[in-house]
Structure 1
């Protein structure tokens, strides 16, 4: 499976708010961080807790890739999203690092 396939599978699960499929795309020791800085979540359990809470608060939450580039095991997305059709809205550049069929690191530039 290519890095793009892994990230797209994660994206599809995110928009479906399917926590099992979403977490299946992450390595057990995955780290989600701000680029060059603070770690936001470390490990699949922390990722599950964060996104379960977010989706409970925002059941109409969705996101989309405005543009995507990939090189080897790295995918860089310019992403936009919304908590509901009325907002609030968000935007970020997201760097996904994959290994095999899982994401091992995510860095957000916001």
Structure 2
């Protein structure tokens, strides 16, 4: 796997998010993935990720764009994201650890 492969997976994740396709979004994560910074507690595993994002992705005015990104090593993607819901934008710095073609860890820090 290369850094560009890692970026491709993160881009697929954002595309699924913007398409409001919950199953395609969840499929970019490994079975034991951990996501931090989106809720009060870490989301661990696809079922937790699916449960957390189900209502969010049902919201039609939700979108995400990657304003800038940096590749670090062969598996890390650091992205500056703009998430918009109901016309309100939130800037987020997201780090993604991608291994074997799936996101293993994701961490979000909101501005």
TM-score computed with the length of structure 1 as normaliser: 0.87
Aligned to 1:52: 54
List structure 1 segments (4+ residues) > 2 angstroms apart after TM superposition.
none
The answer to whether the 8 Å contact 1:13/1:21 transfers is yes
Unaligned runs of 5+ in 1: none
Task: State how far apart, in whole Å, the 2-side matches of 1:23 and 1:68 are.
Answer: 21
Task: State how far apart, in whole Å, the 1-side matches of 2:109 and 2:27 are.
Answer: 24
> Residues 39-61 of structure 1: CA distance to partner in whole angstroms, max 9, x if unpaired?
431110011111111122x2220
SS at match of 2:61: coil
Task: State how far apart, in whole Å, the 2-side matches of 1:47 and 1:59 are.
Answer: 19
* Cα RMSD for the two superposed structures: 1.4
Aligned to 2:69: 68
